[in-house]
Amino acid sequence: MEPNGEEDEEGVPKVGRKGDEEEPALGIAVVGLQILRGAHPKIMHGIHGCIHFSSRSFNTHLHWTTVKIMDLLHGIGVDLVLYLQANYRNYESVFHLASSLADLHTPIFIFFPVWFHLHQKVGINLIWVAVVGDWLNLVFKWVLFGERPYWWVHETQFYGSAPPPVLQQFPITCETGPGSPSGHAMGLAGVWHVMVTAVLAANTERTHSALFSWVVRLGLWMVLAIVILLVCMSRVYVAAHFPHQVITGVIAGMIVAEVFNRVQWIYSASLKKYLYVTLFLLTFALGFYVLLKALGVDLLWTLDKAKRWCIRPEWVHMDTTPFASLMRNMGTLFGLGLGLHSPLCEQKKEIKSASFRLGCIIFSLLLLQLLDTVSLPSKSNILFYLLSFCKSAAAPFITAALVPGCLSVLFLSKNVQRNL
């Protein structure tokens, strides 16, 4: 078989091709056929050009197909944002409350003090799921480069020459990190999964009828589903996330919670192990950042977009940057280890009364609310990140060591006076 000598516009011989829509599989079949027939070198050169053209066309087509799929997902997401903002305006306060409850601040400053003094293992598990889940969320965001609706509508070519949709913004809209997966949805799904499974486990330990246990189980999972739905709707309503980002966040959060439900070493981990895990998570994230930076990837690309397209500069907060999240997580985990292995925490083991537990819960919540009122200076990034670490470390230490240690002294002194 001899080549016909004709070449297309790119200068590639036409042997083994059928026009511009050639499929890669057909090019591979032609190669095998010519090898079996002992093809002439010129023919092999022509086939090589055909394969190169087909591979290049396929890769280009795949790239544009991926872009079109993501644009379509984003376009559908923007339509849903517009629909929610137009038809659920009366529920705006509910959505804002749901977003606030889904923030990592809530499990650390509210849920952890309650659960730690009711059932210490559940409180410990809750912190690990919240911290590791948020750390994984940070890594995923660095890899997936997720857009956010409030800036995407201004920069996309999806709408052509038509004016972009006008999305309403709120004080909690202008998140500065990448959007995929949703950290609020991921954190809430993981933390609430821990709490629901803890209640279900306590329910199975009691003697109840099968019907009662089934009703409790169904009711709790329905509550979890409703809470997750509200949070997902709230994140879409405020134009901070696209629908597919909150869905992937929920799935990822559930997986993290299920994994830690099967991990037992966290309940007996030494202070040294807490320190090692904290350093590992910190150095891994920083090393990954440096590696991507060396490869030419700008991981702070979203900060410029947030500053450019947020309608009010004061809504762009430093505490939503990826490094602020990282330092909060590391501080929380280290503070938990420090509190659990403090001599103050050991004293509470001598007291089993319900009034002592209730007092620990109340005073922990009060002190953490006072701690939460402390605002951090944001003029210096390094100082802000350092103080974020310290503030986050103080929260679990207050709950696990300071409050029970101080109250145990009061309770034990009262018992001594009674015995006298």
Q: Which residues are known catalytic residues?
A: 184, 241
CA distance 36 to 1: 12
Provide the 8-state DSSP code for 7: B
- Please give the structure tokens belonging to residue 305: 């977009």
Tell me the sheet residues that pair with 18.
Answer: 20
Residue with tokens 């280009």: 60
Give the span between the Cα atoms of 146 and 302, in whole angstroms.
9
Kindly write down the DSSP assignment for every residue of 296-325, as one continuous string.
T--TTHHHHHHHHH-SSGGG--GGGSHHHH
Instruction: Provide the strand spans (E) within 203-338.
Output: none
Residue 316 zone, left/alpha/beta (φ > 0; ψ -120 to 50; rest): beta
Gap between the Cα atoms of 191 and 112, Å rounded: 10
Structure-token pair, residue 209: 């009828």
Q: Smallest Cα–Cα separation from 148: which of 14, 281, 42, 246? A: 246
Q: Is-contact 133 256, C-beta < 8 A?
A: yes
- 216 Cβ neighbours under 8 A, 6+ residues apart: 200, 203, 208
* Helix, strand and coil in the chain, % to nearest 5: 75, 0, 25
DSSP 348: G
CA–CA distance, 91 with 389 (Å, rounded to integer): 35
Look-up: residue for tokens 């007291």? 351
User: What tokens appear for 383 in the block?
Assistant: 């100082």
Q: Distance between CA 343 and CA 17 in Å, rounded?
A: 78
Q: How far apart are CA 335 and CA 114, in angstroms?
A: 17
